[in-house]
Amino acid sequence: MKRLIPLALLIATGLAACATDGRQTDAEKLAFYRGHAGEPVKDFKYFGRLNGWTPLGDGALAVWTKPSEGYLLELSGPCQDLDYATAISVTQFGGRVSAKFDDVIPLGAGTSSINIPCRIETIRSLDVKALRASQKELREAAAVEREAGKR
């Protein structure tokens, strides 16, 4: 029951964001992902390739190692080029990415010419199934609200 209260608050926040202009702020996105993340872990398996990633402001991002496996990475400080990167690189040692030791490096045309690494402060496993279900609910609620606004 205690877990449902934060989820309901996140959904309400998401609906409020959709009601205003359809876009969530970075803080709202990060709160949404935090609501679907477990306790911090020290590391995760990584074999040199990500299935996807989502920036959540300049201090956090979600990465997927498989379609059904994702992690919330919170950084030790602002990562200046994260919002503009078209790709990222993640450092690792021995096939594992570790909190407090490894970095995220923003890459691409929108970033500075010097690739500045951003230290990973915490790693939290995402409940990808619940995350996707909540995203679907938010999209459906936004669609219903748009339809109601057209009438």
The mean per-residue pLDDT over the stretch 7-27 comes to 57
The mean per-residue pLDDT over the stretch 125-150 comes to 86
Q: For residue 83, what is the DSSP state?
A: G
CB 74 within 8 A of CB 61: no
pLDDT above 60: residue 11: no
Per-residue pLDDT tens over the stretch 46-99: 988 999 999 999 999 999 999 999 999 999 999 988 988 999 999 999 999 999
The mean per-residue pLDDT over the stretch 13-24 comes to 54
The mean per-residue pLDDT over the stretch 16-23 comes to 52
Tell me what pLDDT residue 113 has: 83
Tell me what pLDDT residue 114 has: 85
Residue type, position 27, single letter: A
Tell me what pLDDT residue 16 has: 47
Question: Phi and psi (nearest 5°) for 20?
Answer: -75, -65
Kindly report the pTM of this predicted structure.
Answer: 0.80
The contacts of residue 35 (CB under 8 Å, 6+ apart) are: 6, 7, 10, 134
Tell me what pLDDT residue 21 has: 52
Model confidence at 7, in pLDDT bands (50, 70, 90)?
very low
The contacts of residue 127 (CB under 8 Å, 6+ apart) are: 36, 37, 38
Tell me what pLDDT residue 19 has: 45
Per-residue pLDDT tens over the stretch 87-136: 999 999 999 999 999 999 999 887 888 888 999 999 999 999 999 999 88
